[in-house]
Structure 1
Amino acid sequence: MKDKDGLLQNAGINTRLSHLGNDPSEYHGFVNPPVVHASTVLFPNAKAMETRAQKYTYGTRGTPTTDALCEAIDALEGSAGTILVPSGLAAVTVPFLAFLSSGDHALIVDSVYTPTRHFCDTMLTRLGVEVEYYDPAIGAGIEQLFKPNTKLVHTEAPGSNTFEMQDIPAIAAIAHKHGAVVAMDNTWATPVYFRPLDFGVDISIHAATKYPAGHSDILMGTVSANAKHWEQLKEANITLGICGAPDDAYQVLRGLRTMGIRLERHNESALAVAKWLEGREEVAKVLHPALPSFKGHDIWKRDFKGASGIFSFVLKADSAEQYKAKAHAFLDALSIFGLGWSWGGFECLAVHVNLNDRRIAKAPEGGPLIRLQIGLEDVADIKADIERGFAASNAV
């Protein structure tokens, strides 16, 4: 990309996504980089092997395929370096292990991804790290929770399932004042709609399984660090022996090419469905940061460039005893929506959310919480499917 580097810096997002992380001149003119399968890498002589005096030394430390994806992610994130890991959860746990030690104190947002909480409450606690959960709306008030041994603050905006917004710049400023590392799970927005490092975050985390891959067939996570924290992150990753597979990296790199236009469609369709749901008598509340009625809308509008395709709503129920029955009736009547974990693919998905693990950011009242991933299907068909769900839940 010798002649394109300068141009791409100021180009639009879809232009950048189409050209980042590939240089056809390095591969005989082929548009996409080849998939390099590698464990052993040969050295020309013993001295080169001893000093590791070449770019590639072993498969776990990178290949041209994985490097192409990392370079693309770095360009999107504005990061000093990126590691690839086998899942979105690994993208959270590797930096935790990189920057926390026994005796440290970690502040974790209470609206965190449930498997992240499980890791914190089990393995991280067992390793001697003190874990404390905080209110996602705390903002600069988080300073009251800091201790001399607070070493990491983990953020996630919007929050998992309930989509609480966080004042990331305010939290980051307080954390840095106390010498703590700030990590953020930015899977919902992707670097297309929010660049964490531009807002004071040190470690940006993504489940590339979601929008970067985009087709519900790849598991991968990316972790990007600023210059201050890159070497420590990279060393931890090498020490743990965790790496992304070349075939998966290739597929994610290919997914990036269309991520911008896919996100535009997810954004537009999800917001149309969310606005429609606000007017339905079967709905007690819609949880979507781009809606003016949402509590954290002002922060979303201030910091984010767009919204993705996932949000939740409260299905109205007269009593707690009805919650599960109404939720199951609604979900079982859906045809276009699949019932399955994850999101970010091309298809609509629906899930009945359980928030029993929450300590501060409790589940909204009024009925069961239904999370929707709005895919690339036509909005009219999506609404018709939801109508079928409402008809079934109304019959309970």
Structure 2
Amino acid sequence: MNKNDKSTKSYRSDTRLVLTGRDPASNHGFVNPPVIHASTVVFESTEVMFSGKAPYGYGRRGTPTTNALTEALTDLEGAAGSVLTPSGLAACSLALLSACKAGDHVLITDSVYEPTRHFCTTVLEPMGVEVSYYDPLIGNEIGSLFKDNTVAVFTEAPGSQTFEMQDIPAIAKIAHAKDAIVLVDNTWGTPLFFNSFENGADITIQAGTKYIVGHSDVMLGTVSANERAWPRLHAVHGAMGYHVGPGDVYLALRGLRTMGVRLAQHEKNAMEIASWLETRPEVDRVLYPALESDPGHEIWKRDFSGACGLLGVILKDCTKAQACAMLDNLELFGLGYSWGGYESLAIYADPRKYRTATKWDEPGQLVRFHIGLEDPKDLIADLEQAFGALKS
């Protein structure tokens, strides 16, 4: 893009991913932004140093490399500004810290990413923030949980292990009527499949580790905010001293360029495998909002334009030991945390151990799959042979 026109809003998403955050004209014609390793910035004079008007003042607060990524994110999200953090969890914690203080009350979905819940327990609550968890299916009934000191609602659609589809526009409407900030963990949807701000968010979060980077080799978090939430988010980010190294930023920029085509393939593969899983006698239910059979399908169809490769499966009539034996029998699916890379992954999940506002009473065992970029027929064959362990 021309350096005087950093918006790509007139283009479709795949074109925007190619153009945004790049300015070859200011980089001697090179296609990609330079990788700048920097701490100290040398000023021309004390006048410039004290003015605060220099484009860069210290490496921790930004370089042309980090700015290329934050400008791209701000453009794609439709935000007032964006910041980077060293992990997705750091992005969640930063966003929450920017939205509340001691004496405040925050509402958090009971399906929240478990490390975010751990942050609330070990940091927010000891510092004097009251935390309440709500049923992710509460919708416009969330108003009954507000207190005089409720300042924020932290949402996630769908839930990262249990895949409930929240009605974020309904929640946001009530929260804003009560002057509360709405935060959305949009790692599953990404800005390509779910526009957080158009659906009522004030702050949107991504674990860039996952689909932005896309290659399982970088830890990264991103937080973007609207005009209301941006000044506070920007100030807290600076005070916390968060910084992401230029090499990781460069890999994130490189991953961003192909995020559209990768997500399209993840979705295609996941739909084929989810549909096959629904036919299996070993499967009680497939948790994937893009399926018509999913309870959250209508909300997904209304608010989302696509689905990523992450889904859950409730296995029928088996023990935890049998479910784990099935996982151990997998050959193409790796057993590992995180998701969003090119490879397929699987984990055993047990929401019973952390849910508090709602009861997870599914009788079967829950397994979460990330469907990667392998041929889905090979993945189906791997799942089929692994299901044999459920019979032993």
Partner of 1:363: 360
Verify: 1:240 aligned to 2:236, yes or no. no
The alignment status of 1:296 with 2:292, answered yes or no, reads: no
Which secondary structure does the structure 2 equivalent of 1:228 belong to? coil
Q: Which amino acid aligns with 1:275?
A: S
Give a deviation string over 1:99-157, Cα, whole Å, max 9, x none: 21111000000000000001111211000000000000111100000111001100000
> Contact 2:204–2:223 at 8 Å: present in 1 too?
yes
What is the aligned partner in structure 1 of residue 50 from structure 2?
50
Q: For the residues of structure 1 that align with 2:334 and 2:162, how far apart are their CA atoms?
A: 20
Does 2:373 match 1:376?
yes
Q: Which residue is 2:310 aligned to? A: 310
Shift in Å, 1:253: 0.7
CA deviation profile, 1:191-217 (whole Å, cap 9, x unmatched):
000010111100000000000000000
Letter in 2 for 1:187: T
Post-superposition offset of 1:259 = 0.3
How do residues 1-396 of structure 1 correspond to structure 2 at under 5 angstroms?
A: 1-2=1-2, 5=5, 8-317=8-317, 322-355=318-351, 356-395=353-392
Contact 2:265 2:373 in 1 (8 A): yes
Query: Which letter does structure 2 place at the counterpart of 1:381?
Result: D
SS at match of 1:199: coil
Contact 1:151/1:181 (8 A) holds in 2: yes
Deviations 1:15-74 (A, max 9, x none): 111111001111000000011111111111112112223000001111000000011111
For 2:85 and 2:298, locate their aligned partners in 1 and report how far apart those are by CA, in whole Å.
Answer: 34
Deviation at 1:2, TM superposition (A): 2.3
Q: CA deviation at 1:6?
A: 8.6
Give structure 2 stretches of 5+ with no counterpart: none
Alignment CA distance shift 1:253-1:236 (3 Å): same
**Letter paired with 1:378:** D
Q: In the superposition, relative to structure 1, how do residues 305 and 199 fare at CA in structure 2: closer, same or farther (>3 Å)? A: same
TM-score between both structures, scaled by the size of structure 1: 0.97
Contact 2:206 / 2:221 at 8 angstroms: preserved in 1? yes
CA distance in 2 between partners of 1:248 and 1:3 (Å) = 23
* Alpha-carbon distance in 2 for matches of 1:25, 1:244: 25
* Residues 83/350 of structure 1: CA separation in 2 closer, same or farther (3 Å cut): same
Output the CA distance in 1 between the equivalents of 2:358 and 2:212: 29
Task: Give the TM-score taking structure 2 as reference length.
Answer: 0.98
1:354 maps to a residue whose letter is: D
Q: Are the counterparts in 2 of residues 286 and 312 from structure 1 also a CA contact under 8 Å? A: yes
Aligned length: 391
Note if contact 2:92-2:116 (Cα within 8 Å) is conserved in structure 1: yes
Given that 2:3 and 2:23 are in contact with CA atoms closer than 8 Å, whether structure 1 keeps it comes out as: no
Shift of 1:7: 8.6
* Cα drift, residue 393 of structure 1: 1.7
The alpha-carbon deviation at position 364 of structure 1 amounts to 4.9
- Once residues 285 and 4 of structure 1 are traced to their aligned partners in structure 2, the CA distance between those partners, rounded to angstroms, is 51
**Letter in structure 2 aligned against 1:85:** T
| Rounded Cα–Cα distance in structure 2 between residues aligned with 1:9 and 1:159 | 29
Counterpart residue type for residue 357 of structure 1: Y
Stretch deviating more after TM superposition (290-299 or 3-12): 3-12
Aligned 8 A contact 2:156 2:185 in 1: yes
Q: Answer whether contact 1:284 1:366 (CA < 8 A) is retained.
A: no
SS of residue matched to 2:228: helix
- For 2:177, the aligned partner's letter is K
Other structure's SS at 1:239 match: helix
Partners of 2:172 and 2:208 in 1: how far apart? Answer: 24
In the aligned structure 2, how far is the partner of 1:92 from the partner of 1:252? Answer: 18
Q: CA RMSD in A?
A: 1.3
AA of the residue aligned to 2:41: V
Structure 1 unmatched runs, 5+ = none
CA contact (8 A) 2:104 2:130 kept: yes
SS state at 1:383 partner = helix
Q: Secondary structure at the match of 1:224?
A: strand
SS in 2 for 1:40: coil
Aligned partner of residue 319 in structure 2, secondary structure? helix
Letter aligned with residue 213 of structure 1: V
- Aligned partner of residue 154 in structure 2, secondary structure: strand
Letter in 1 for 2:337: W
Within 1, Cα distance between the matches of 2:42 and 2:253?
Answer: 26
